[in-house]
Amino acid sequence: MTSLGYARSDLLVETDWLQQNLDDPGIRIVDCDQIDSYRRAHIKNAVGIRVHHYVKQPGYAEDPKAYPLVAPPDVFAELMSGMGVGNNTQVVAYDGFGGLYATRFWWVLNYYGHTNVKVVNGGWKKWFDEGRPVSLDPPERREADFVPRAQPDLLCTLDYGVSQVGDGDTVFLDVRSDAEWDGTNDRGNRRAGHVPGAVHLEWLNLLTDDRHQTFKPAAEVRATLEALGVTPDKQVITY
């Protein structure tokens, strides 16, 4: 596990811990990068995600209103079972992008009631640079049964978000890039800008400024967030 002083340090694991537990049959390591990257090389015993529809389904770009931002339960259950992830499996997720995709995967698993999931601090780049075991081959197939149990309170709907604008007990935390925040980059959307009254902190500012992009110590993260008014007594809505 990590020792950075976090309240929930069990959610983050270091590369040395993972290597020590690499062959544990109760653990499923998941490479959250695109499948082409996984096929080029990955952490030994890791399984790849053949489709990334656990966040949104095909066709979303053509008709955003027709598809949810989280895959339906049956779609996600089939994907997890096929990857050898059951309800009792300990999942360890990683990626090569500072945790961007691994933490998203962590969230979706939590949304469907699977809380036994951790993220590798430093991910693929740190693992590779340290010369730890890698492979080109997929792991042996495992039988697993995943039964999703949605936790709707983890998702902020549009209607609920709108109702919280201007509420003194709620903080909207915009973690997008500076250009998205100030509207100079609309990323192809019909409208640009940010939620009225939101505070801004690009998510990369919570990571170290080096190749490995590990998470900063808890005290530093806490101080950064408190300066923006993001404190434990507030309801925080991120986007």
Secondary structure of residue 237 in the 3-state scheme: strand
Contact (Cβ atoms closer than 8 angstroms) between residue 127 and residue 135: no
pLDDT tens across 137-195, in order? 999 999 899 999 999 999 998 999 999 999 999 999 999 999 999 999 999 888 999 99
Residue ranges of domains in the chain, CATH in brackets: 9-151 (3.40.250.10), 156-238 (3.40.250.10)
**Residues 6 or more apart whose Cβ sits within 8 Å of residue 190:** none
Q: Where are the alpha helices (DSSP H) in the chain?
A: 15-20, 35-40, 73-82, 100-111, 123-129, 158-164, 178-182, 218-227
Q: Which residue in the block uniquely carries the two structure tokens 């530093």?
A: 220
Reported pTM: 0.91
User: What pLDDT band is residue 3 in, cutting at 50, 70 and 90?
Assistant: low
Sign of the alpha-carbon torsion through 202, 55, 156, 60: positive
Longest dimension (CA), the chain: 52
Side-chain-side CA neighbours of 189 within 13 Å: the count stands at: 11
Contact (Cβ atoms closer than 8 angstroms) between residue 136 and residue 41: yes
Cα–Cα distance measured from residue 19 to residue 13, given in angstroms and rounded to the nearest whole number: 10
Query: Taking residues 60-76, what's their average pLDDT?
Result: 67
Q: Which residue in the block uniquely carries the two structure tokens 């192809």?
A: 188
Task: Give the angle subtended at the CA of 15 by the CAs of 104 and 132, to the nearest 5°.
Answer: 115
Question: What are the φ and ψ backbone dihedral angles of 162, each rounded to 5 degrees?
Answer: -60, -40
pLDDT tens across 26-61, in order? 999 999 999 999 999 999 999 999 887 666 555 545
pLDDT tens across 83-99, in order? 999 999 999 999 999 99
